[in-house]
């Protein structure tokens, strides 16, 4: 009865993901999604009513893929550097497989930040819990001014930025060679591991060189 129905629905979602992720909500065309799914355009509306609804469906899907690692590991008893390493490795793999994702996600968040609030609720992860868990793992964190928030920004920045800036970086610094750039990305996860240990240590030391509050 709905074995086929579920099947088409999946086909549509996959095609829609491809097109939306590549072109963005505004740039995507319903006709192109239908073509890539190999179905009639009217079916898109039959299953998802409107472009916006279809987009919402795939966007929540993608955000889930993003957050599930965090949700699955944040409650483990790993050390903070080990935990961060798990995240770094996951996102490095994930974004090499889905190069458009990071750029796409932030673009759509900027286009409609309110959508984020809805999605955070449906996710199995509360933002406050992340900070809380980090502070729990490293109680002395922030003693030097390097708060959990700064740490997250550092790790995510160093990890995600080379993916976001890939077309720029790869062209400018790596002759636009995919293989060279993949090697570059993978190198990074290794030294990021070392960096994180140092950072976590530094974050627990009072008033070292990293003291950031001098201006305030």
Partner DNA sequence: TATTTTTTTAACCATTTGGTTAATTACTTT
Partner DNA sequence: AAAGTAATTAACCAAATGGTTAAAAAAATA
Residues that bind a copy of itself (CB under 8 A): 23-24, 26-27, 100, 103, 106-107, 109-111, 113, 116-117, 120, 127, 131, 145-146, 149-150, 152-154, 156-162, 164-165, 167-169, 171-174, 183-184, 186-188, 190-191, 194-195, 197-198, 209-216
Among positions 10, 14, 40, 198, the unique one binding DNA when judged by CB under 7 A = 40
Tokens matching residue 95: 């974004």
- Rounded to whole angstroms, the Cα distance separating 31 from 24 reads 14
**Diameter of the chain measured on Cα atoms:** 67
Does 188 bind DNA (CB under 7 A)? Our answer is no
CB of 40 to DNA, least distance (A): 3
Write down the residue that tokens 């080990």 correspond to.
Answer: 82
Instruction: Report d(CA 160, CA 91) in Å as an integer.
Output: 8
Q: Name which of a copy of itself, DNA, none residue 131 binds, using a CB cut-off of 5 to 8 Å depending on partner kind.
A: a copy of itself
Quote the CA–CA distance of 205 and 209 in Å, as a whole number: 10
C-beta neighbour count of 108 within 10 angstroms: 21
Alpha-carbon gap, residue 98 to 90, rounded angstroms: 12
- Work out what residue 42 binds among a copy of itself, DNA, none; the CB cut-off runs from 5 to 8 Å by kind: DNA
Any contact of residue 28 with DNA (CB under 7 A)?
A: yes
Stretch of 40-48, 121-129, 135-143, 198-206 contacting DNA, by CB under 7 A: 40-48
Instruction: Give the residue with the Cβ less far from DNA, 28 or 155.
Output: 28
Q: How far is the CB of 105 from DNA (least distance, A)?
A: 20
Query: What are 137-140's contacts with CB under 8 Å, separation 24+?
Result: 137/79, 137/80, 137/83, 138/80, 138/200, 138/203, 138/204, 140/203, 140/204
Q: No. of H helices and E strands in the chain?
A: 11, 0
Judged by CB under 7 A, does residue 152 bind DNA?
A: no
Find tokens 């979602």 and name the residue.
Answer: 13
Judged by CB under 7 A, does residue 36 bind DNA?
no
**Which residues contact DNA (rule: CB under 7 A)?**
1-5, 8, 28-31, 39-43, 45-46, 49-52
């Amino acid at each position: 009865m709905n074995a086929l129905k579920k099947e088409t629905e999946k086909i549509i979602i996959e095609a829609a993901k491809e097109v939306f992720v590549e072109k963005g909500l505004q740039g995507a065309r319903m006709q192109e999604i239908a073509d890539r799914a190999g179905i009639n355009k009217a079916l898109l509306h039959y299953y998802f009513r409107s472009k916006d609804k279809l987009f919402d469906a795939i966007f929540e899907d993608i955000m889930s893929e993003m957050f599930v690692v965090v949700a699955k590991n944040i409650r483990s008893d790993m050390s903070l550097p080990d935990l961060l390493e798990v995240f770094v490795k996951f996102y490095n793999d994930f974004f090499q497989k889905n190069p458009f994702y990071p750029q796409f996600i932030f673009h759509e968040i900027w286009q409609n930040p309110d959508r984020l609030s809805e999605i955070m609720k449906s996710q199995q992860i509360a933002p406050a819990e992340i900070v809380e868990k980090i502070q729990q793992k490293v109680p002395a964190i922030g003693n030097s001014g390097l708060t959990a928030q700064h740490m997250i920004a550092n790790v995510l920045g160093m990890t995600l930025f080379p993916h976001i800036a890939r077309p720029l970086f790869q062209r400018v610094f790596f002759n636009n060679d995919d293989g060279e750039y993949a090697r570059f990305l993978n190198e990074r996860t290794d030294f990021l591991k070392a960096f994180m240990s140092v950072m976590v240590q530094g974050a627990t030391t009072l008033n070292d060189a990293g003291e950031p509050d001098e201006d305030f």
